[in-house]
Structure 1
Amino acid sequence: MIEEPTTPKLSIIIPVYNVLDYVQEAVDSILTQSVQPWEVIIVDDGSTDGSGDLVETLYGSHPLVKIIHTANGGLGEARNTGTRAATGDYIYYFDSDDVSVDGLIKRFYETLEQHPDMDIFAFSAESFEDPIAKSKGGDQSQQVRLISYRRRMERIFASGEQAFNTLSETNAFIPNAWLYIYARRLQTQHQLFFLPIIHEDEEFTPRLFFVAAKTCVTDSVYFQRRIRIGSIMQSSRSEKNAIGYLRACDALEGLMQRTSDKETRKNLCARIVKNILNVIGVAKGSEVKFSAKSQSELDTLTSRYRNLDITLAENNYFAWRVFNFALKRLKLRAS
């Protein structure tokens, strides 16, 4: 007797931490998709504002939803916890203060039907200013910069490494985990888990790409990122931010040691330099004094990868930012 092929299952993991005003809209944007996932795993990461109680009230009896309550361990560990509990063939990490665009799961399955050996499905996103914070009288003096996360291509790549190179060269490689659905076996086979750091995606996503085979990329927007004052990315920076970027450099250097391909090495090097500049930005832009260990790691990296950008940023970080911003504007106009 020939067994009927089974449809691959999609597990969506949603870490929740102190997002009382946002979590219902976020979770509902997943549960009301025209095509449903196999399961939604909500990980309450020790919320103190009632978010954990709210998701229990709203979704505790929902047939697709599993809820896990943990002590606060950070976004990366909350994702790891959800991954360990997942039973699907594909994993998607969704943030609990953002909005999923209808059609995401439908498009994922359509692409998977055409490419059943797909390892990564990469899509695009846009950002929007948080109306809730504005309605509550948030700091109107703070300007919100809306970021576009567009791929500007519809491509199928034979490997994640090829996708990384092409996306890097078009400034469309974006590490944020909420832009990717990927085959869970990549994680189990290669022990791909998040480190307990800030900017964990900078460390995780390149490693994911370099163990992936077929990667499908679309410019279609299936994610709306909320820009809100007080989130992890909008809050004041500390040495923890620098440590996250340093660990990303470790991962990128590890990938570089495994390849002799000139194009790949060039793009990995460029990403390392970008993270070094982020560390310099924490030190100079936020006036954070590093521990001896972090400073030593930064000194070693700047010595190894020194270029004009690093030298300018070290000597006058503000002037480098102005120069870099102007250069980006010129490139955008030329494209």
Structure 2
Amino acid sequence: MGKEQGMNTPYKDLISVIVPVYKVERYLCRCVDSIIAQTYTNLQIILVDDGSPDGSGAICDDYAAKDSRITVIHKKNGGLSDARNAGLVAACGSYIGFVDSDDYIAVDMYEKLYKAIVACNADMSVCNFRYVDENGNNIEERNNALPVKDEVIDGITALTRTLDDKGWYYVTAWNRLYSRKLLQSIYFPDGKLHEDEFTVHRIYSKADKVACVADACYMYVQRGGSIMQTGYGIRNLDAVEALEQRFEFCVNLPEMSDYILRLSQRIYSMLVEAGIKLDMHNAGCRQRYKELKKTYIKQCRQIKKLFTLRQWIIDVAVFEIFPAINMAVFKRL
């Protein structure tokens, strides 16, 4: 693949970049062009056409005909997680990255992330990202005080930051580079919204070192009609389910009591919000909400000693018996 343009030594490690593709005809070229143009050239670019009904699949094939680094997978529609998983099966690289097909990346993103890993023998690296509109214009009000700083932390510290202000910068799958070993036996859950929330704790628990890069190298495009821009509905409960699964994973980890308590309180807030926003006349919404609420109360009983009496009364006891009171209070906050 030639010599590195930004470093003095040849590219030694193959990076597999997985791009799920579905109904993004308007944005796809900008995305793929940004990957092709990377200063780190030793790439395997995997475009996963997830049964896209527009011309996206043909665009993928055109790119593959022009660049030998590009592999195209055509499959029936299975959703974002299924497309990522298909890409993981095909990935050959020592390192793996993800790019969503309506987003794009800085020309030196993978060089910076790779160099950060090599410099400290880390297991993964993570960078900041910027919110941009469909035309690539910076959305200033959403890009203040970017949370990721130049530093090296351990995986558990990274995990605890997922609940901080702007903690989603430590959750998303695409603003980072993974050592292949971290993703062994890791698959994104099919059919779920907030799929990254289901996997991030399992990945961080394997990482001894996480290299953090302050540069905002990933451009997160905000567009109407995308998965994350739709209204509140039953699929938003996937986020609650993900955090409840994370609770089960973390509850027995050493020195995690503070995080577990914060996690429990985050679940509580999300359940109260769901109780306000969900259509409880819908039997499906009502039943799933009831199941998640039951799990939350059961988990709280596991860690009752971590609550103050006031927290226990408000967050658990009252919520179990009179959830409507909590919802009324929440509306006034």
TM-score under structure 1 normalisation? 0.79
Give the whole-Å Cα distance in 2 for the aligned partners of 1:276 and 1:90.
37
Task: Quote the offset at 1:91 in angstroms.
Answer: 0.9
Contact 1:151 1:218 in 2 (8 A): no
Contact 1:26 1:97 in 2 (8 A): yes
Tell me what 1:119 maps to: 123
Task: Quote the offset at 1:223 in angstroms.
Answer: 0.6
Tell me what 1:260 maps to: 254
Give the whole-Å Cα distance in 1 for the aligned partners of 2:327 and 2:140.
20
Task: Quote the offset at 1:276 in angstroms.
Answer: 4.7
1:128 counterpart letter in structure 2: V
Contact 1:245 1:276 in 2 (8 A): no
Q: CA RMSD in A?
A: 3.1
Give the whole-Å Cα distance in 2 for the aligned partners of 1:322 and 1:29.
46
Contact 2:244 2:295 in 1 (8 A): no
Tell me what 1:232 maps to: 227
Say whether residues 1:165 and 2:160 are aligned partners.
Answer: yes
Could you list the structure 1 runs, at least 4 aligned residues long, displaced by more than 4 angstroms after superposition. 166-171, 304-319
Give the whole-Å Cα distance in 1 for the aligned partners of 2:214 and 2:253.
29
Tell me what 2:290 maps to: 296
Residues 227/313 of structure 1: CA separation in 2 closer, same or farther (3 Å cut): farther
Task: Quote the offset at 1:27 in angstroms.
Answer: 1.0
Say whether residues 1:49 and 2:58 are aligned partners.
Answer: no
Out of 174, 184, 190, which is 2:180 matched to?
184
Contact 2:38 2:110 in 1 (8 A): yes
Task: Quote the offset at 1:152 in angstroms.
Answer: 4.2
Residues 69/316 of structure 1: CA separation in 2 closer, same or farther (3 Å cut): same
Task: Quote the offset at 1:297 in angstroms.
Answer: 2.1
Tell me what 2:303 maps to: none
- Per-residue CA deviations over 1:30-56 (Å, capped at 9, x if unaligned) read 111222242110001110112111221
Task: Quote the offset at 1:99 in angstroms.
Answer: 1.5
Structure 2 gap segments, 5+ residues each? 1-8, 301-310
- Per-residue CA deviations over 1:166-185 (Å, capped at 9, x if unaligned) read 56456545311112211111
Contact 2:18 2:48 in 1 (8 A): yes
Tell me what 1:223 maps to: 218
Residues 246/12 of structure 1: CA separation in 2 closer, same or farther (3 Å cut): same
Out of 75, 89, 95, which is 2:100 matched to?
95
Give the whole-Å Cα distance in 2 for the aligned partners of 1:318 and 1:125.
36
- Per-residue CA deviations over 1:198-234 (Å, capped at 9, x if unaligned) read 1111111122111211111122100111111100001
SS in 2 for 1:19: coil
TM-score under structure 2 normalisation? 0.80
Structure 1 gap segments, 5+ residues each? 135-143, 324-335
Task: Quote the offset at 1:151 in angstroms.
Answer: 2.3
SS in 1 for 2:54: coil
Out of 95, 103, 110, which is 1:105 matched to?
110
Give the whole-Å Cα distance in 2 for the aligned partners of 1:75 and 1:12.
15
Say whether residues 1:284 and 2:289 are aligned partners.
Answer: no
Give the whole-Å Cα distance in 1 for the aligned partners of 2:279 and 2:90.
41
- Per-residue CA deviations over 1:146-167 (Å, capped at 9, x if unaligned) read 634922422112x311222356
Give the whole-Å Cα distance in 1 for the aligned partners of 2:141 and 2:201.
24
Task: Quote the offset at 1:21 in angstroms.
Answer: 0.4
Count of aligned pairs between the two proteins: 303
Give the whole-Å Cα distance in 2 for the aligned partners of 1:303 and 1:97.
39
SS in 1 for 2:128: strand
